[in-house]
A and B are shown apart, each in its own frame.
Chain A
């Protein structure tokens, strides 16, 4: 058996439960907030980038009065009820530098009527022109049959499952991969013609909530610019020729959305910094109190032959063990919260969300453990130094 610094530190941690729990909780809270903040930020950033890549569009054209479309798509706010005519498709396609145009419709099922479930985004695409959904569908399925639809990753519907939309059954033909983008993950995809048909039928039945969409209307026209062309220049040209339209450059809008998100996360980071500061002070105070209580113990250890370095090491080792334990528990709690409450984060914090890969999570965990060890060194250095520098005789006589 080995009785060394680590063993003594572990025994002390085990036997002084109240102090151990206090320190571990303080470090766990601080680690959980830091871990969650970093993972949320990374998830937001990568899901936004993935969303943009998934969209594959450089410019989105919407009616001038429509809300900013990209943040709605990425963040999952209600789709705009402003539509534009499909007649713009050909005219925009004629602008120099535009390579492809694809119309899209975004709808959200309402709570009224006989809908299967409210809050589902229906995304209509043109199978002839689409370069966003269709390539994926062709790769996976060939083509969609009538009354077939593709479900976003946010639903547990398996292929073959029937979804009732405005009174009509649609079979899930396939599932999209997870993107973290609300419209895609909480959406179902169908050809535009089928969506126009569905909208028309919804107006024919009294017990079905109306879809205001008319044939020939779309929510947005997505544009892919030719290689070497500047999206910004083309967007300006579109707005010049069609002042009633708004052309949103995806990368620019992404930057704005990221900025909005970062503002939200800044407060989370401030909270994290505050919890760390509190934890460092708390750990330092608790360790100082503990060291004071154990003066005689340190004196005895010195009399038995422990060096100053040994005593210093024991106090630091205790702080390290507690910091590691606290940060691991905190990160596990943070990870459990972020994965277990994914829907909460998406719906209530209104954030795009895609948990980063395991390598990144492991890397961040190691960084947080390092931060925790570094700050526990700061918190325990003075109590450890004081314990080591105690004169053995004075230490032994303390409490007499």
Chain B
């Protein structure tokens, strides 16, 4: 398995009470799978994705990527894993406002210490895929919200990660852009074999994935008959 979670639990301790955002989740995702997780707001989808991506530490349980417990790694090693193996897509525009589109695109490559002509070429190609090659020198503030989201989606593929963790990547996008993004995800899954975990509200989008899961009150369920 490429991704495996074992009894994954995340508890937030507030002043007077505790909130169990993710409860005892056991998930196994094979390499090249395209799965979706649906659920209401506050059901724990985003927290689960962050736990898998090593952005937050579980209270209990383990996350294994390629058989490695990611929380046994040092900060340097975990950061390297995020940089090389995982591409994130967030619910919001996640571009660095002080950098141009080109610099934002090249950031993952720069963080792994390699920015050359090959990376420049890939950045341009990815921007072409999201229809924004002409905006390469623009700053995020010069783009619309939707355009910023598309650049961030393209950036997630920059280092050719094995895993894409997409948290509502099409939220706030119009239907046409939503379809375009979905097409891109499917293409990357099929052509490059990227493993994708898509968190979405949309059952229509989820229906297009190979496996569908539902998150409810922090627990994860498999759904066979989804629609």
| A residues at B contact (CB < 8 Å) | 1-4, 8, 11-12, 14-16, 296-297, 299-310, 391-394, 396
Contacts and interface: CB of A to CB of B under 8 A. Distances in A.
A302 B155 CA distance: 14
B53 interface: yes
A293 B108 CA distance: 22
Given A11-B99, A304-B88, A393 B75 contact: no
A392 B55 contact: yes
Contacts of B106: 1, 3
Contacts of A4: 110
B115 to A, nearest CB: 6
A306 B111 contact: yes
B18 interface: no
A57 to B, nearest CB: 65
B55 A14 contact: no
Max chain A CB contacts within 10 Å: which of B75, B103, B111? B111
Contacts of B103: 3, 11
29 contacts: A1-B115, A2-B110, A3-B110, A4-B110, A8-B96, A11-B98, A12-B98, A14-B98, A297-B97, A300-B96, A302-B55, A302-B79, A303-B90, A304-B82, A304-B83, A304-B88, A304-B108, A304-B155, A305-B79, A305-B83, A306-B79, A310-B79, A310-B111, A391-B55, A391-B56, A392-B55, A393-B47, A393-B56, A394-B56
Interface string B96-124: 11110001001110111001000000000
Contacts of A302: 55, 79, 82
A400 to B, nearest CB: 8
Nearest to B100: A11
A305 B84 contact: yes
Query: Main SS of chain B's interface residues?
Result: helix
Interface of B: 47, 50, 53, 55-57, 75-76, 79-80, 82-84, 88, 90, 94, 96-99, 103, 106-108, 110-112, 115, 155
Contacts of B111: 301, 304-306, 310
Contacts of B79: 302, 305-308, 310
A384 to B, nearest CB: 15
Shortest 3 CB-CB distances between A and B: which pairs? A305-B83, A3-B110, A393-B56
Contacts, number: 81
Max chain B CB contacts within 10 Å: which of A1, A310, A391? A1
A291 to B, nearest CB: 14
Contact of B55 (A16, A306, A396): A396
A172 to B, nearest CB: 61
A306 B113 CA distance: 11
Max chain A CB contacts within 10 Å: which of B56, B79, B99? B79
A306 to B, nearest CB: 6
Given A3-B107, A3-B110, A297-B97, A307 B75 contact: yes
Contacts of A296: 94
Nearest to B85: A305
Contacts of A394: 56
Contacts of B110: 2-4
Contacts of B80: 305
A393 B107 contact: no
Contact of A391 (B57, B107, B112): B57
B96 A301 contact: yes
A237 B110 CA distance: 81
A392 B97 contact: no
Contact of B76 (A2, A8, A301, A307): A307
Nearest to A308: B75
B61 to A, nearest CB: 16
A15 B108 CA distance: 21
A303 B54 CA distance: 8
Contacts of B83: 304-305
A1 B120 CA distance: 10
Given A1-B106, A8-B96, A304-B82, 5 more contacts: A297-B96, A301-B96, A303-B90, A306-B111, A310-B111
A309 B115 CA distance: 20
A2 B115 contact: yes
A394 B106 CA distance: 24
A392 B98 contact: no
Nearest to B110: A3
Nearest to A14: B98
A304 B107 contact: yes
